[in-house]
């Protein structure tokens, strides 16, 4: 049965106080969390694990710390050693808080996919570490500066036939690649169960418009979610979806209503596959 998750990145600023999840969780109409690991959490990893386990939150997915991908791009022995060590901490946290899936930005940052050969080569070691922790490693279709996400996913699949992915609607729309998900040429993505998770965010910019690269609530951008959910339903996918739209304003206040409307909207989408089933004027 599908689950609609809330990214902790939507609730907390970078490296924010994860203890705020306790009061926030009581107000959210969600199925669970995708926990975003930020570098400041490394120093208090044990306290973080204890807190989350004591709170008994449902966290089926963890999002790996993003800068690991940038370290992998460098390809030096020192950079790789650092990346693997940090990645193992991520996997240990995921394992101890009950997560089964790990979202990875295999490439990221300023270097992006400019040294993709280094990122692709590192995947094997990362997947080996993840398997030791019984975690399903999912590579995200992260935006690119040299090629494009779908090209990179195809290259990875050719090199690693059993690789798994997370498909992010905003990332795809940024490169004008949303419709490729529905194309026969790329049906292997879902027919062979390579996609194991979805990030569901809207986008309101043009092709590779870097000024608009932020996760928007579903229905506030230009993505055709009628087509998206109808297609996902036809494929028989019944896994996890994560809402990532930033909900914290400049004063640090979390927009709980917006998030709950997102969860409600996605629930209706998944039940009907049609955006019109949701009354945009409705308030919970």
Domain borders along the chain are 3-277
Distances (CA, A) of 167 to 63, 143, 198: 13, 11, 5
Identify the pLDDT of residue 95.
98
Identify the pLDDT of residue 275.
52
Instruction: For Cα atoms 162, 163, 167, give the angle at the middle one, nearest 5 degrees.
Output: 135
Q: Identify the CA nearest to 213 among candidates 150, 145, 143, 262.
A: 143
pLDDT in tens, the chain (284 residues): 899 999 999 999 999 999 999 999 999 999 999 999 999 999 999 999 999 999 999 999 999 999 999 999 999 999 999 999 999 999 999 999 999 999 999 999 999 999 999 999 999 999 999 999 999 999 999 999 999 999 999 999 999 999 999 999 999 999 999 999 999 999 999 999 999 999 999 999 999 999 999 999 999 999 999 999 999 999 999 999 999 999 998 888 999 999 999 999 999 988 876 655 444 333 33
Identify the pLDDT of residue 236.
95
Question: Which H or E run contains 197?
Answer: strand 195-199
Burial of residue 225 (CB within 10 Å: 0-12, 13-18, 19+) is: buried
Q: CA-to-CA distance for 229 and 53, rounded, in angstroms? A: 33
Identify the pLDDT of residue 279.
43
Q: Do the Cβ atoms of 219 and 226 come closer than 8 Å? A: no
Helix (H, G, I), strand (E, B) or coil at 199: strand
pTM recorded for the entire structure? 0.95
Fold category of 3-277 in CATH = TIM Barrel (3.20.20)
Identify the pLDDT of residue 273.
67
């Amino acid at each position: 049965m599908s689950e609609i998750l809330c990214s902790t990145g939507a609730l907390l600023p970078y490296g924010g106080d994860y203890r705020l999840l306790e009061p926030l969780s009581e107000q959210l109409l969600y199925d669970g969390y995708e926990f975003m690991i930020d570098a400041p959490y490394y120093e208090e990893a044990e306290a973080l694990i204890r807190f989350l386990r004591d709170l008994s939150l449902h966290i089926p997915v963890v999002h790996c710390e993003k800068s690991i991908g940038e370290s992998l791009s460098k390809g030096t022995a020192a950079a790789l050693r650092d990346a693997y060590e940090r990645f193992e901490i991520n996997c240990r946290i995921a394992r101890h808080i009950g997560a089964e899936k790990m979202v990875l930005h295999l490439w990221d940052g300023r270097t992006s996919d400019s040294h993709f050969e280094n990122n692709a080569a590192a995947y094997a070691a990362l997947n080996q570490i993840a398997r030791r922790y019984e975690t399903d490693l999912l590579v995200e279709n992260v935006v690119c500066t040299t090629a494009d996400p779908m090209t990179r996913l195809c290259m990875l699949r050719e090199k690693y036939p059993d690789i798994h992915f997370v498909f992010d609607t905003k990332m795809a729309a940024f490169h004008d690649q949303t419709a490729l998900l529905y194309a026969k040429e790329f049906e292997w993505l879902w027919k062979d169960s390579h996609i194991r998770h979805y990030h569901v965010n809207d986008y309101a910019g043009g092709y590779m418009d870097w000024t608009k690269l932020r996760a928007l609530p579903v229905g506030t951008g230009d993505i055709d979610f009628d087509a998206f959910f109808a297609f996902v339903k036809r494929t028989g996918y019944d896994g996890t979806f994560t809402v990532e739209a930033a909900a914290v304003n400049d004063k640090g206040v979390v927009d709980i209503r917006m998030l709950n409307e997102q969860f409600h909207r996605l629930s209706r989408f998944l039940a009907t596959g049609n955006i019109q089933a949701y009354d945009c004027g409705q308030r919970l």
